[in-house]
Chain A
Amino acid sequence: MSLLRQLPPLILASFVVVAVLLVCALFAGPLSPHDIAQVDLRNRFQPPVLLGGSWTNPLGTDSLGRDLLSLVLRGIQVSMTIAAIGTIGGAVLGATLGFVAAWIGGWVDNAIGVLIDFQATIPNLILALALLAALPQASFTLFVLIMIVYGWEQYARLARAIALSAKAQPYVQAQMILGASAARIITRSILPNAMAVLLVNMSINFPKTILVESTLSFLGIGIQPPDTSLGVLIGQGRDQLYNAPWVALAPGFVILIATVSISLLGDWARDLVDKD
């Protein structure tokens, strides 16, 4: 499946988008023209430059008169950070459990298998909602933890399958015969071989994590104001869709190009790996 390979312009564009987002996430503070906490009710709903606004607020202002560009930059920073922590954390958690399940087998494998089944049975968003509802107070740390739990079972399944098939491979059996420790075999032999698949799954999972975070924040049960994320911004802007559509559409556009370009890259990477 080399279809996306024949489309380097699209992939190139995706790389550029991701690079720009990365710069925005890393330097959100210095790049912001205004302080996001700066409320100015006299300056509400300023339109963006394209709709005849001024360069003081290139993307316009929201219902509290805050500078939308600064808010979007902060939103990118928060959303990307949470997605990165969630993706990496989920991969580490899932891969570890998957390797342990495959290597030890027996009841450990069964127990982890039941957990995987359980996680696969309850839609992730619903599970996150349940945990959020049970928490007495919204907390950033707990929210990040929930994002880590999101999607772990995919890595666990992949890692388990890879380790199981590797265990039957002569190159692993040869090391077992030589008396190599399980830790050595897993970290030095199986992990390097599984890395490509895990990385591809991470690149596919990253945009999904952004989606879940922004969905929860959009629904008002994720990141809580006064802090912001892209989802929070869209949630705040949905009520002004008639009079000030840019408040929702600007962060919406950012999410759109972010998730689409990362997904395209992930899909492209998977094709590359599948080909080998």
Chain B
Amino acid sequence: MSWVVLRLGRALLTLLLLIAFTFFTLAMNGDPAAAKFGPDIDPETLEAFREKWGLNYPLWKQFLIYLDGIWRLDFGLSFRTGRQAWELVSARLPATLALMLPTMFFSIALGVPLGIYAAAHRGGRADRLTIIAAVIALAIPAFLLGLLLMYVFSVWLGWLPPSGWVGWSSFLMPVATMAVSTASVYARFTRSAMVEVMSHPMIETAEASGLSRRLIRRVHALPNIALPLITITALEFGNIITYAVVTESVFAWPGAGRLLIESVAGRDYAVVQAIILLTGSTMILANLLADLAYGWVDPRIKDARRPRPHRKEARA
């Protein structure tokens, strides 16, 4: 099980790098004491604060203090509101998750079957349409798609509420905006993975002993594409977070993504760093889980004969 230990070590290393990144961008951002209290503070309080938080210590010690703070979910006070950054972020998380989880579900539920269907009819009209639709869907910026949907369904047809939260119908446009590109990633990836697996010699062996193509697809192809799909899901998670940030801004959705944009625009770094650390550690965890699942399902990795397989590119 040494690869598990190695993999865990790498995840921890990446996490540490992430924390170091936010720490140094914070340091780059200027004096945290000044950032915390604003410009109107008297020098004594400032000095006392520096003493208390160890800002006079060498950098490595400050980093340890910073680490300790993060461990206790203390990301500092929001510059704009004066409240704990973590409080602000966690209050906005449910709204963001309410967009992300349905997006994930619909992307997989639509994209994967579409990809399988396209691969099974490779070269046919359905296949060609799927590919072109996927290329186009991926090329449209999320904010533009959001605006177009808003223009058509709210401004023009007046069917849906343009922004904010007024009821269940408010979900439709944001989720659609996010799911279109993610679903096309799944469709393309599934299609090419399926085509690749179906050209593997084991398929010919199976056909040669008279197994039906349907059965072959079920017992050989599907398990073999399930593995890369796990990896792609972990990677797509990051894209969905990105889409959430953009989509929330377009539709004035009260989630953490909009909070991030507002905080970046207002240089409210405590909040920004909290969201970035949250995003990063979620991604690290997602990738770790994907790899562990991979190793658990794939006997070749369990045997540690070779290192982790090269991760498939997100592009299909």
Binding site for B on A (CB under 8 A): 1, 3-4, 6-7, 10, 114, 117-118, 120-126, 129-136, 154, 157, 161, 204, 207, 211, 214-215, 218-221, 231, 234, 238, 241-242, 245, 248-249, 252, 255-256, 259-260, 262-264, 267
Question: Does the CB pair B287–A121 fall under 8 Å?
Answer: yes
Secondary structure class of chain B's binding surface, majority of residues: helix
Contact across chains for B249 and A219 when beta carbons are under 8 A apart: yes
Ordered nearest first, which 10 A-B pairs have the shortest CB separation? A134-B25, A123-B238, A259-B139, A263-B139, A133-B264, A133-B272, A260-B139, A125-B242, A123-B242, A211-B141
Decide if B46 is an interface residue (CB 8 Å cutoff): no
Interface segment out of the listed B65-73, B123-131, B172-180:
B123-131
A254 CB to closest chain B CB, in angstroms? 10
Task: Identify which of B13, B131, B238 contacts A122 (C-beta below 8 A).
Answer: B238
- With A and B bound together, what is the CA distance between A11 and B272 in angstroms? 42
Interface stretch of the complex, out of B84-92, B95-103, B147-155, B211-219: B147-155
Q: Determine if A238 and B147 form an interchain contact, defined as CB atoms under 8 angstroms apart.
A: yes
Given contacts A117-B14, A234-B143, contact A215 B135 (CB under 8 A): no
Are B283 and A122 in touch, CB under 8 angstroms? yes
Whether B77 is near chain A, meaning CB under 8 Å from some CB there, is: no
Q: Which A-chain residue is minimally distant from B25 (CB atoms)?
A: A134
Docked-complex contact B10 and A133, CB < 8 angstroms: no
Stretch of B26-34, B220-228, B292-300 that contacts chain A: B26-34
Please pick, from A7, A161, A215, the residue contacting B310 in the complex, using a CB distance under 8 A: A161
The interface size of chain B toward A, counting residues with CB under 8 Å, comes to 62
Residues of B in contact with A (beta carbons under 8 Å apart): 10, 13-14, 17-18, 21-22, 25-26, 28-30, 123, 127-128, 131-132, 135-136, 138-144, 147-148, 150-151, 155, 192, 195, 235, 238-239, 241-242, 245-246, 249-250, 260-261, 263-265, 267-269, 272-273, 275-276, 279-280, 283-284, 287, 310, 313, 315
Residue among A3, A157, A245 with max Cβ neighbours from chain B (10 Å): A3
Q: How far is the CA of A260 from the CA of B30 in the complex (A)?
A: 41
Knowing A241-B150, A263-B135, A263-B139 are in contact, say whether A121-B280 is a contact too (CB < 8 A).
yes
Determine which of B150, B241, B273 lies in contact with A123 in the assembled complex, contact meaning CB atoms within 8 Å. B241
Known: A134-B26, A215-B246. A122 touches B135 (CB 8 A): no
Identify the closest chain B residue to A270 (Cβ): B315
Given A121-B18, A121-B287, A123-B239 in contact, is the A130-B128 Cβ separation under 8 Å? no
Contact, CB under 8 Å: A10 / B132: yes
| Chain B residues positioned under 8 Å from A130 (CB to CB) | 21-22, 25, 272-273, 276
Assess the B315–A204 pair: CB atoms within 8 A. yes
Across the interface, which residues of A come within 8 angstroms of B142, CB to CB? Answer: 215
